[in-house]
Structure formats: C-alpha cells, structure tokens
Structure 1
Amino acid sequence: MNSKVEYSSMRTSLTSGTFHGPRIAIGVALLIVLVAAVPAMAAPSKVERLQSQLADIRADLKKAGSAYDKAYWKLDETQVRIDKIDAQIEQSEADLVEARVLLGGRVNGMYRAEHVDYLNVLLDASSFEEMVTRLEFIRRVNQADADAIERVEVLQARLSRERVTLEAEKVERQAAAASLKKQRDKLQKGLKAKRAEYERVAGELNRARGGSSSSSARAMPGPNGMVFPVRGANYYSDTWGASRSGGRRSHKGTDIMAARGTPCVAVLSGTVRSKSSSLGGKTIWLTADNGWQFYYAHLDAYKVTSGRVSAGQVIGTVGDTGNAKGGSPHLHFEIHPGGGAAVNPYPYLRRMQ
C-alpha cells in the first residue's frame, strides 16, 4: 500500500513540474555550453573578414607596387641615357681638342716649319698651274679640318640639347616615382597593421579551441612543397627578362618587395653559404637536399651564414644592399633546378602560397 502511494506521488511530481532539480541543472549546463561557444562561433567570421581585407589590401599593394617598379626602372633608364650622353659629350670634347691641335699643327708645319711661310709655298711653284694646285691643296686641308671641328661642335650642341631634355624628363619621373612610392608605403603599412590584427584574432581563436596562440611557428609549405621565401607583408610580379640598367642586362629572378628587416626563410631544407658582392650585396645560396639551388640577394642582415637549415627557418632579412642601395628594399630571388641555369621563379612562387 505504501509503495503505491510513493509511486503515485512521484508521478504527480513529474507531471505537475514540481520536480525541478535535474531540469534546472541540465538547462544551466546547456546555457554554459552555448555561451562558451558564442566567441568560438563568432571568431571565424571575424577571421574570414580580416582575410578578405588582407586580400583586398594585397591586391591594391601589388598594383601600387607594380606601378612604382615601372616608374623606378623608367627613371633608371633615363639616368642610363644621361650617363651615356655625358660619356659622348666627354668624348666629343676630346675629339674637338684633338681636331684643333691637328689644325694648329698643320698650320705651323706649313707656314712656320723651317721658316717656310704661306707666300713662299705658293711662289716656289714652277708654274702657275702648280701654284694653283698647291693653293687648292692648302684650301682643302684647311677646309677638311674646319669641317671636322664644325661636325664636333654640332654634335656637342645636339648632345647638350638632348641632355637638357633628359634632365627635365628625369625630374618628372623622379616626382612620379616618389608619389607612387608614398602610395605603396602607405598600403604596405596598412597591410602590416591588418596582418597584426588578423594574427591576434587567429591566436584568440586557437586559444579558444585549446591550441597555441604563438605566431612564431614556421610557415607551412605551399602546394609545391616549398615555403614562400619572405615571411611578412610583401608583393611581387613576373619581371623575368625585364630590362635592367638601361638594357645592359635582363632580370634573371623575381623581386619580392617588402619592408626592410622582413624575415627571409629557407624554401626547402638543405645547406646555406653566404657571400657578399657589389652586385648582390649580402647574399645567400641555399642548396636543397634535392639538389636545387636558391639565391637570395640584397639582404639587410644574415641570420644564418653557413651550415644546415630547415624549411621555413629564418636565414636573413630583406634589405637593399649591393646595387639596390638607395632603392626599395626587396629580396631578389632566383631558382636553379638541379643547380643549373636560373629559371623564372614566378610560377613556383605562386604555388608556394
């Protein structure tokens, strides 16, 4: 009888809602889970938004950077042409001095050597025809020398006019390059700030998921198994074969533009050796385990000068040493498959990202 009463009482409690304890506990637990999940659910959307913003800034930076690069190399070509004209002017001045000396020497030889004067040269002729012939000879010699001097003087005048024109062109191109450089630097600064914000948010998301928030981990390789050689905000374009130094040479690599001090990393595991030259400045040759070689030039500083390195390890920093001094900091990067001739790095770089 008593057991029936207890059973009936329990059913009444359950149906009437008076048995609240377990229900409240379950509800509170669910609420805690939902509240904890909100930041983790919201964070990916913010990360995605930042990724989209990064992509937009990168695209703008690449356009501005490419425009600046073109302006910079046009300015370089103008300077090469000015240097060439300066050399021609210098040579023409030497030619003019030589022509004047030659003319003076002939006059001295003809009219003063051994006390022979112009009148005696003519009067010494045995006939009137010979005198006329000598006079014509003297006239032609003098005219030839005068013509040579005139040609040099005309050349000098033309070169001087061209130089004035090129100097004006140089001023215009310097102004254009400076304006584009400001635009590029502003975008690069914005990209750096946005990347820092992205890494902060990504770190918070990783912590919420129980992972590490450290951003110092080595970069992961791209689809082709290689790590991109610059770790930080950068831009680059396909400049393989482009004219350099006014056409005196062609470009045999890819220039990856980045702020001075941006880390440069090993694209593959292997061994490195460092070298310094007037052309490449501070350089590193990386010989990968597969036999391929990679050339890093214009480094600002070395982080490793020799020995074994791992893929993604920092080996140097972006700079402007060598013949890039005074220009935009960048990494000149080359790829030599099997240690042979250089090939266009651009397609490989695209598949490292």
Structure 2
Amino acid sequence: MLRSVAARTLLALILLASLLLSAAPAASITKSEVDEACAESQAAKAVLDEAQTQLDAATAAHQDAYWQRDEVSYKQLGLRASIDSHIEEIDDIRDRVVERAVDMYMAGGAVQPGMLFNAGSVEDVITGQAYLDAATKDDITALERLEALKVTLDDLQIEFTAQKAELDVIESNLAAIAQNQLALVDQVAAAFNDLDSDCRAARTEYQQQLAREAALKAARASGGAGGVSAEATPGFICPMPAPVSFINDWGFPRSGGRKHKGTDIFAAYGHRVVAVANGTVRLRSGGLGGISVWLHADYGVSFYYAHLSGYAPGIVDGMQVSIGQEIAYNGDTGNARGGAPHVHFQIHPGGSSRAAVNPYPTLSRNC
C-alpha cells in the first residue's frame, strides 16, 4: 500500500515537473546583448531601428486613416440614399400636383394649358393664385410637404458636398501614408540585410522574444480578443514571408459601429501569400473583401485572406493545398482601395461559420 502511494506521488511529481519545464519561457536575450552583438553594425542597426519605429507608426496611422475613410464613406452612402429618397418623393408630389392641376383645368379652366406641359413652369403652377384658390386641404398639405422636402434636400446636398471634400482629403492622406509604408518596408528589409550575421541573429531572436511577449499579453484578453493557443493551429506559418508589418488592430472601429475582426498584414503589392496549413481553398470575389480566399485547414480551423490582387497560377476553387504553398498575392481590392496593400487575415476556430478570434497572438508567434 505504501509502495503504491509512493509510486503515485512520484508520478505526480514527474508530471508536475514536466508541466513546469514545458511552461518555462525560452531562453531570453536582453537588449544590451543585442547591442553587444551588433557592435560592428551599429550604424546599420540604428538605421534599421529608426525605420522599424517609423514603419510601426505609419502602420498605426494607416489604420486610423482607413477607419476615417470607412466612416465617412459609410455616412456618404446614407446621405446619398436620403438624397435619392427625397428626390423621388419630390418628383412624386410634383406629378400628383400636376395631375391635380389638369383636373382643375378640365373642370373649369383655372390653370392655363400651356403651363401644364412646361416642366419649368411646374413651380409657377402649384404656387399660382388660381391653383391655391381651388386647392383642397390635401393639396395644401402636399405643397407644404414639397417645400419642406426641398429645404431638407438642399441641406443634404450641402452636407454631401462637404463630406465629399473631407473624403478627398482623407483619400489623399491615406495614399501618402501607403506610399510611405511601402518605402519603409523596403528600408527595413535593406537595413536588415546590412547587418552582420551575428547582429541579424541576435536582433531576430530579440524581436521574436518581444513578439512572444506581445502574443502572451494579447492571449490574456478575454473572449475572441485572446486568440487561440498554438496547439489549435499546429504547424502554422506566416501568411506572407518577411518583410511584413502588422499591429494588434483587433476591435478597431469600422463604419456603422462595426469592429475590426482580424489583423491587417502589410507588405509590398504583389507579395507572395501562402497557405498557413494543409487544407481546401474556396475562392471568393466581391464585397468588402474584394478578391479573397477561405482556407479550411484539415484540422478544423478556417482562415480568411482578403484584399488580394489575384490568385497564384493553378489555384482553383475547391482544390487541396499544402502548407507553405503559394496561393495568392497581396493587394488592395474591396474596400482597401486607395490604401496600403495588405491582407486582412482572420482565424475561425471550428470553421468559417463560427466566430472569428484575434489572429494577432498567432501571427506574433510565427511572423
């Protein structure tokens, strides 16, 4: 009996030790150690650090401008619909008033016949004393409604013009930010290549360590914002090879009160997009996502790639793809037009019909 208890106790201790060891963080590297390894590449490292800082700021600025454009565009759609509705109702009332004037003419000739068929004289007809003298209560109500609609329509058109001017400024700013982002991506890549091998290795390890810490912080969030564990996406690789840029933009505001349900990964236009897992692809086109791909992984998780510029040669709907296989190219289709080329990336545990979770922790661990 004692031997059995001892065996169980030993087994429990072994399991506890293995859990502690598996949970232990990877060997860390400090910033001073990176600086020491980069002693021979100080100038190149300074250029790289500055370019990376500027790239991160540009990425954040792009998200802010992108949201502004999305919000103003959404408001413009609402204004356009309201303007169209007002014009339609004004035309309908005018048609009914003209019909009423024709009836008056046929009944007693109170309205001159030539005025009835002259579009420019419609306002004269319906505001003329002869029409008003013969008008019923319903006729007067229609005229009052017509005048109110005309005033409101003028206000809506003024607001629409002002928002159009605001949108033009935002579009111009977004285009400038996008150009700056692309230039900074190239600068980061060039500066990284200028580092000596020891410095590149140390800096890469340090950046991966920071990414792990960021992923851990994001994973502590509750609900979908926490993403999924590494075990949920076995073998996951970055959807686009380096150099890429992204931030934790999950939950950022979007038009109509929506929230951003993914991570925008920025890279050069036409940059290779690859399968993050073995699975089946479904090709889609149109709507906010533009040219897009659903990748349904064999292990039950679905991944969504949007705003692509096109598909890789040989990629067809419903085909099986392998992890790392080139499936598409980075772009700006859908509602990403005018902004920096990027892939909007989503993770849906349990399949595309299930809710998305924050991809940032997964991307931070692997990109």
- TM-score range normalised by the length of the shorter chain: 0.5 to 0.7
Find the counterpart in structure 2 of residue 257 from structure 1.
Answer: 266
Find the counterpart in structure 2 of residue 171 from structure 1.
Answer: 168
Alpha-carbon deviations, 1:59-86, whole Å to 9, x = none?
3212112112211331232233233323
1:276 and 2:284 correspond: yes
Find the counterpart in structure 2 of residue 324 from structure 1.
Answer: 336
Find the counterpart in structure 2 of residue 17 from structure 1.
Answer: none
Are the aligned partners of 2:48 and 2:187 in contact in 1 as well (CA < 8 Å)?
Answer: no
Equivalent residue in structure 2 for 1:197, among 181, 187, 194: 194
Are the aligned partners of 2:179 and 2:340 in contact in 1 as well (CA < 8 Å)?
Answer: no
Distance 1:321 1:285 in 2: 16
Give 1:88-127 correspondences, 5 Å limit. Answer: 88-113=82-107, 115=108
Deviation at 1:260, TM superposition (A): 1.3
Find the counterpart in structure 2 of residue 151 from structure 1.
Answer: 148
Give 1:23-172 correspondences, 5 Å limit. Answer: 45-46=39-40, 54-113=48-107, 115=108, 138=135, 140-172=137-169
Deviation at 1:250, TM superposition (A): 4.1
Secondary structure at the counterpart of residue 287 of structure 1: strand
1:228 and 2:238 correspond: yes
Find the counterpart in structure 2 of residue 350 from structure 1.
Answer: 364
Deviation at 1:47, TM superposition (A): 6.5
Change (3 A) 1:177 1:203: same
Secondary structure at the counterpart of residue 335 of structure 1: strand
Distance 2:341 2:169 in 1: 23
Distance 1:55 1:338 in 2: 39
Are the aligned partners of 1:47 and 1:202 in contact in 2 as well (CA < 8 Å)?
Answer: no
Name stretches of at least 5 consecutive residues in structure 2 with no aligned partner: 1-35, 112-131, 202-210, 213-229
Distance 2:151 2:334 in 1: 39
| Range 56-65 or range 247-256, more displaced | 247-256
1:285 and 2:294 correspond: yes
Find the counterpart in structure 2 of residue 212 from structure 1.
Answer: none
Distance 1:80 1:345 in 2: 26
Alpha-carbon deviations, 1:286-328, whole Å to 9, x = none?
3334322222223334346332413x44443322234434432
1:302 and 2:321 correspond: no
- Superposition TM-score, scaled by structure 2 size: 0.63
Distance 1:58 1:181 in 2: 15
Are the aligned partners of 1:54 and 1:195 in contact in 2 as well (CA < 8 Å)?
Answer: yes
Name stretches of at least 5 consecutive residues in structure 1 with no aligned partner: 1-41, 119-134, 207-221
Distance 1:156 1:196 in 2: 59
Question: Where has structure 1 moved over 6 Å in runs of 4 or more?
Answer: 203-206
Alpha-carbon deviations, 1:227-281, whole Å to 9, x = none?
222212222223334444x3275432211111112222333x4223241311334
Are the aligned partners of 2:37 and 2:198 in contact in 1 as well (CA < 8 Å)?
Answer: no
Deviation at 1:116, TM superposition (A): 8.0
Are the aligned partners of 1:274 and 1:282 in contact in 2 as well (CA < 8 Å)?
Answer: no
| Range 74-83 or range 59-68, more displaced | 74-83
Q: Which amino acid aligns with 2:280?
A: V
Are the aligned partners of 1:237 and 1:346 in contact in 2 as well (CA < 8 Å)?
Answer: yes
Find the counterpart in structure 1 of residue 25 from structure 2.
Answer: none
Distance 1:205 1:94 in 2: 65
Report the number of matched residues.
276
Percent of counterpart pairs with the same letter?
33
Change (3 A) 1:288 1:86: closer
- Higher RCO structure, 1 or 2 (CA under 8 Å, sep 6+): 2
Distance 1:76 1:87 in 2: 17
- Superposition TM-score, scaled by structure 1 size: 0.66
Change (3 A) 1:273 1:193: same
The RMSD of aligned alpha carbons is: 3.5
Distance 1:175 1:324 in 2: 14
